[in-house]
Amino acid sequence: MVAGMARSYHLPDVQLALRMVFRKLRTSDFQIISLVVKPMSASLTLDNPLAPETNTSGVSGSSRYEQMLGRAEELIVKPKQGGGAQRVRIQHTKERMTVWERIRVLTQHEPQITFQNWGAQLDGAGIVTGILNIGGRDVALYGHDFTVRAGSMDATNGSKLARLILLSGEHGIPLIGMNDSAGAFVPAGVGGLDGYSEAFCAMHKISGVVPSIMLMFGYNAGGGAYLPRQGSFVIQPENTFFGLTGPDVVRHALGEDITPDELGGPKVHSQSGVVDLTAPDELGALRMALHLLSYLPDNHHSLAAFHPTSLPLDDYVAEEAILLRKTFTNPASEFNTPFDMRLLLQQIADYGDYFEVQPGRARQLTTAFGRLGGHVCGFIANNSAFDSGNINVHASRKGTKFIRFCNLYNIPVIFLEDVSGYAPGSEQEQAGIVQAGRELLDAIVDLRVPRITLIVRNAFGGAYCAWNSYHIGADFVFALPSARIAVMGPAGRPFVYKDEYRQIFSDHQQRLKGGVPEVDSASERDGALAELTTRYEHELLNPEEALKLGSVSSLVMPGYSRKVLGNALLYLLRHYHPEPLSGPQRE
C-alpha cells in the first residue's frame, strides 16, 4: 500500500492509467517521466508509460510487429534514396537535379506518391508517379529517377506509368512528365518494349482529354523520345538530348560524325517543332512549366482558370494609338513598314502579359496564350517583322497545332491579322505548302470556341479567306482604319487598271522611238506607275469595300482595340458552354 493514501493501488494499474492519459501525446512533447513514491520502508519508481516496452522474456530481438514497422519505414524511405549517395553525387556533378528535387520545385506541398515501391527491388524501379498540389490544383506527375537503372523502362514500371496516365484522364487532371530515361531496360528483353507500348497507348487515350506538359532532362533515346512527344507541350533545357537514336548509333550506321546537341539538342528540335519551348536549365524549365500550366484548363470539359483583374477594359490605351501612328507614318516606308505584332499584343492582353509558344520557330506567326478581362484566350498573330509575315509550311503547321489545341480545350481564339499571302516559290511547293495550308484552313474552319478577328493592316487574297473571316465562321470581324482588304496588294494594279497600265508602257516605247533618252523616259514611266499605285491604294486598299459587303462588322479606332475585343469576348463567353469536342472528324 502506498503511504499516505486511503486505498491501495497495484503498480501495474497505475501504469495502465497513465498510459491511457498520455496515449494521444507525442513522446517529444515531454521528457521522460518518473514518479517516485516513498513509503515508510521502500521507494517505488513508475516508468514512463510511453517508453517502448523492454524485452523481459529472455528471448533476443523485438516483436514481429516491431520488425514489420521497421521494415515499413525502410520501404517508405528506399525510393527517395534513389540509387544511393554515390549516384546522386554523379547526378549533381552533371548539373542535374534528382527527381525528388525537381518535385520540390513544382510544389511546396507533400506529394501524394502512388505505387511508391512498385519495382523489381521495391525501389520504384526508376520511376516516380504521384499526385501534386500545384496552386490548389490536382496535377498528375511522373518522373524518371536516373539514379536507378538510368530511369530505364521495363514491363513493371511501364504498367505503373500507364496506370498513372490513365488516372489523370479518368479524373480530369493535367499531367506533367519529367523525362530522364536511357530508354528500354535491355536485360528485361521484350518486357521493356511492352512497358513502352502500354505507356504509348495510355498517352494516346488521354490526348484531347487532359492537357499534358513534358519536360526533357538528361539524355533520352528511343521510347524515351516518342512518349513525351505524345504530350501537348514539350520543354527542353540546354545541354540535354533526345532522339530516336544517339550519336554513336548514327556514327556506326551512317558514318556521320555528329554531337548530341547537333543531333537532338534544343536548337534542332525548337526549329522543327518537336519542342515547343526551350529553357536555359532545369530550374528554368520547371518554372516555365508552372507558368504554362496557369493558362491551361484541367480537362476538355472546363474553362481555364479566371483571374480577376483590376485593369478595366473600357480605358483608352494611348500607347496603342502612338504605336500605330509611328509605324504607319514612317516617311521611308509608310504602309510597308515591318510591324512586330507582339507590340500590339502587349497593349491588348491584361497587363501586357502573354505566354508565347514556339517563339523561335516560324517567327512570322506568333502563337501565344494571354488573358483578356481575366479570361484565358489564344492569340494567333501575323508578324511582318519576320519574312514579311508570309505564311510558309512551318508557320502553317505551327498555327495548326496551336489552333487545334485551343479548340480541344475550350480556349477562345483571337486573330490579329496582317498577312499578304502564302509564301510562294519552288522550295515551298516541294515542302508541301498546299497541304500545310489546307491543314491550317481546316483547323480554323473547325473552331467551335469563341473566335474574333481584328484586321490591323494587310488582308489579301487566299490568306484573307482562310484567316477567320465571317464566311469561315468568325463570330466577329473588326478592322482598324489602317486595314487594307483586297484580292491583291499593290501588285494587283495591272489587273484593275489594265488600259492605263498598257498606256504607260506604250508611251514609254514611243518616247524611246522619238529619241528621248532612256533614263528620262524610264523616270517618267516610273512616275506614272507610282501615281497609279497611289490611286490603287486609295481606291481599293482600305476597309470600305469589306464594310459595304458586311465582311467587317465595324471599324475600331486606334487605342480601343482592347476595349472592343474584350467586350466581344465577354459577350461570347456568356453564351458558351465548355464541353468535349464532338461531331464528325474530318480527313
318-488+541-574 matches 80-293 in CATH topology: yes
pLDDT at position 314 over 50: yes
Confidence of residue 55 (pLDDT cuts 50, 70, 90): low
pLDDT at position 463 over 80: yes
Q: What is the pLDDT of residues 341-374, one digit of tens each?
A: 999 999 999 999 999 999 999 999 999 999 999 9
CA distance 454 to 564: 10
Asked if 127 contacts 64 with a C-beta cutoff of 8 angstroms, the reply is: no
In the chain, count of helices (H) and strands (E)?
22, 19
Q: What is the mean pLDDT of residues 486-492?
A: 86
Domain range list for the chain = 1-52, 80-293, 318-488+541-574, 493-536
- Predicted pLDDT of residue 9: 45
- Taking all residues of the chain, what is their mean pLDDT, rounded to a whole number? 89
- Predicted pLDDT of residue 469: 95
pLDDT at position 442 over 90: yes
Q: What is the mean pLDDT of residues 140-156?
A: 91
Confidence of residue 153 (pLDDT cuts 50, 70, 90): confident
The CATH superfamily holding the domain 318-488+541-574 is 2-enoyl-CoA Hydratase; Chain A, domain 1 (3.90.226.10)
Asked if 393 contacts 362 with a C-beta cutoff of 8 angstroms, the reply is: no
CA distance 96 to 328: 49
For 374, residues 6+ apart whose C-beta sits below 8 A from its C-beta are 306, 307, 308, 309, 350
**Using the 8-state DSSP alphabet, how is residue 581 labeled?**
-
Residue among 77, 2, 87, 82 nearest 46 (CA): 2
- 3-state class of 53 per DSSP? coil
CA distance 19 to 191: 53
pLDDT at position 223 over 70: yes
Residue among 325, 430, 415, 318 nearest 366 (CA): 415
Q: What is the mean pLDDT of residues 318-339?
A: 93
Q: Percent of the chain, pLDDT > 90? A: 70
For 117, residues 6+ apart whose C-beta sits below 8 A from its C-beta are 75, 78, 79, 123, 124
Q: According to CATH, what is the number of the domain 80-293?
A: 3.90.226.10
Confidence of residue 56 (pLDDT cuts 50, 70, 90): low
Provide the β-strand partners of residue 277.
235
Confidence of residue 47 (pLDDT cuts 50, 70, 90): low
222: left (phi over 0), alpha (psi -120 to 50) or beta: left
Confidence of residue 57 (pLDDT cuts 50, 70, 90): low
Residue labelled with grid coordinates 508552372: 290
For 475, residues 6+ apart whose C-beta sits below 8 A from its C-beta are 450, 451, 452, 568, 572
Confidence of residue 574 (pLDDT cuts 50, 70, 90): very high
